Amino acid sequence: DSGVTQTPKHLITATGQRVTLRCSPRSGDLSVYWYQQSLDQGLQFLIQYYNGEERAKGNILERFSAQQFPDLHSELNLSSLELGDSALYFCASSVGGTGGEKLFFGSGTQLSVL
Amino acid sequence: AQKVTQAQTEISVVEKEDVTLDCVYETRDTTYYLFWYKQPPSGELVFLIRRNSFDEQNEISGRYSWNFQKSTSSFNFTITASQVVDSAVYFCALSEARGNEKLTFGTGTRLTIIP
């Protein structure tokens, strides 16, 4: 058990809908990261937050947004969903996020867009 | 731009055989970090090892060993005396030391250990 909690584990929704994925980092970790894993794109970095502030942005679509709250949990919002958004979404956390740190990954949220 | 290449898409070996997973990376930075993560059938990503670009010493942890060679930009992973529990997808990843933890992952190698 990595100590990172993601909910829900599975999500099935329709095109055009909006969903929210939730992540609770390990106790004491200040950084949260979101990754998307799909068959065609592999593992892609989406975004990183450090202590409530956005630190780095990757290949995140404009339809997607994220935030990290004062209690350090994070949410990833996906809107106007398309079939191609179906993927496994991972959250990870680390202590500082300054480079070279080991990331602890949650078990992921499997999103299916029908 | 950084890139990680895992040319072996799938490997199958019989239990107790040794197996090496290849990883080749590209980066313009002189300071960077290399990682291996394991994704078992249950789906979560599990950290195995981290190396920084200034430490080329090979590392051994039980049946696992890693060979880092800057001259060939490679960071290969060897499992000795493989076991069925080693069956998983293995990812090599690269992080540049720029104040964030953006990991660039390879496409992964699916390893199947045949009993």
Q: A2: nearest CA in chain B?
A: B46
pLDDT tens for B6-40 read 999 999 999 999 999 999 999 998 889 999 999 99
Q: B96: nearest CA in chain A?
A: A99
Residue B77: both structure tokens together: 């992973």
pLDDT tens for B55-102 read 888 888 899 999 999 999 999 999 999 999 999 999 999 988 666 678
Within 8 A of A97 by CB-CB distance, chain B residues are: 99-101
Strand A104-105 versus strand A87-94 pairing type: antiparallel
Q: A100: nearest CA in chain B?
A: B33
pLDDT tens for A38-57 read 988 899 999 999 999 999 89
Within 8 A of A46 by CB-CB distance, chain B residues are: none
For B101, which of A43, A94, A107 is closest by C-beta distance?
Answer: A94
- Give the per-residue pLDDT at A74: 98
- Helix and strand numbers (H, E) in chain B are 0, 12
Note whether A6 and A91 are within 8 A (CB). Answer: yes
